[in-house]
Amino acid sequence: MDKSAHPETKKILTPLNDILRKGLAEVAEYVTPISKLATKVGEEVFLRGWVYRQRRTGNLSFVVMRDGTGIVQCAVNKENVSEAEWKAANDLYIESVIELVGTVVEDKRAPGGIEVRVNEFNLDFKGDSFPIGKDQSTEFLLDVRHLWVRSQRIIDALKVKAALLDSSREFLKERGFLEVQTPLLTSSAAEGGSTVFSVDYFGRKAFLAQTGQLYLEALISGYPLVYNYVPSFRAEPSRTPRHLSEFWQIEPEMAFYNQEMNMKLQEELVVHYTHELAKKVPDILQKFKRDPKDLLSIQAPFERMTYEKAIEVLAGKGLKIKWGDGIGLDEEKLLVEDRTQPMFLTNQPKEMRAFYMKLNPDDPRTVLDADLLAPEGIGEIIGGSERISDYNELMQRLKEQNLKPEDYAWYIDLRKYGSVPHSGFGMGSERVVRWILKLDSIRDAIPFPRTINRLEP
Ligand code: 4AD
Ligand code: MG
Q: What is the DSSP string of 338-394?
A: T-SS-EEEE--BGGGS-TTBPB-TT-TTBBSEEEEEETTTTEEEEEEEEBP--HHHH
Does the beta carbon of 244 lie inside 6 Å of ligand 1?
yes
pLDDT of residue 137: 95
Query: What structural domains and CATH numbers belong to the chain?
Result: 3-125 (2.40.50.140), 141-445 (3.30.930.10)
pLDDT of residue 237: 84
In the predicted structure, residue 4 carries a pLDDT above the cut 90: no
Does the beta carbon of 49 lie inside 6 Å of ligand 1?
no
pLDDT of residue 297: 98
Mind listing the pLDDT tens digit for each residue in 123-177?
999 999 999 998 999 999 999 999 999 999 999 999 999 999 999 999 999 999 9
Q: What is the mean pLDDT of the chain?
A: 95
Q: What is the DSSP string of 29-90?
A: TTB--GGGGGGGTTSEEEEEEEEEEEEEETTEEEEEEE-SS-EEEEEEEGGGS-HHHHHHHH
pLDDT of residue 343: 98
Which atom of ligand 1 lies closest to the CA of 442? Answer: 25
Mind listing the pLDDT tens digit for each residue in 110-125?
888 999 999 999 999 9
Q: Do the Cβ atoms of 385 and 358 come closer than 8 Å?
A: yes
In the predicted structure, residue 6 carries a pLDDT above the cut 60: no
Mean local confidence (pLDDT), 316-321: 96
Instruction: Measure 384 CA to ligand 2 centroid, in angstroms.
Output: 8
Does the beta carbon of 380 lie inside 6 Å of ligand 1?
yes
Does the beta carbon of 115 lie inside 6 Å of ligand 1?
no
Does the beta carbon of 252 lie inside 6 Å of ligand 1?
no
Question: Which of 89-103, 184-198, 206-220, 223-237 is the least confident region?
Answer: 184-198
Shortest-distance ligand to the CA of residue 234 = 1
In the predicted structure, residue 13 carries a pLDDT above the cut 90: no
Mind listing the pLDDT tens digit for each residue in 377-424?
999 999 999 999 999 999 999 999 999 999 999 999 999 999 999 999
pLDDT of residue 337: 96
Is pTM beyond 0.75 here?
A: yes
Instruction: Measure 430 CA to ligand 1 centroid, in angstroms.
Output: 10
Mind listing the pLDDT tens digit for each residue in 180-215?
999 999 998 888 888 999 999 999 999 999 999 999
H-helix segments, 175-302 = 213-219, 259-280, 282-287, 292-296
**CA dist 120 to 15, 19, 62, 88, 318, Å?**
8, 11, 14, 11, 69
pLDDT of residue 236: 86
In the predicted structure, residue 267 carries a pLDDT above the cut 90: yes
Does the beta carbon of 191 lie inside 6 Å of ligand 1?
yes
pLDDT of residue 1: 38
**CA dist 453 to 5, 117, 431, 457, Å?**
56, 47, 20, 12
Mind listing the pLDDT tens digit for each residue in 72-91?
999 999 999 999 999 999 99
Shortest-distance ligand to the CA of residue 380 = 1
Our CA dihedral for 296, 297, 298, 304, rounded to 10 degrees, sits at 170
pLDDT of residue 381: 98
pLDDT of residue 49: 98
Mean local confidence (pLDDT), 44-71: 96
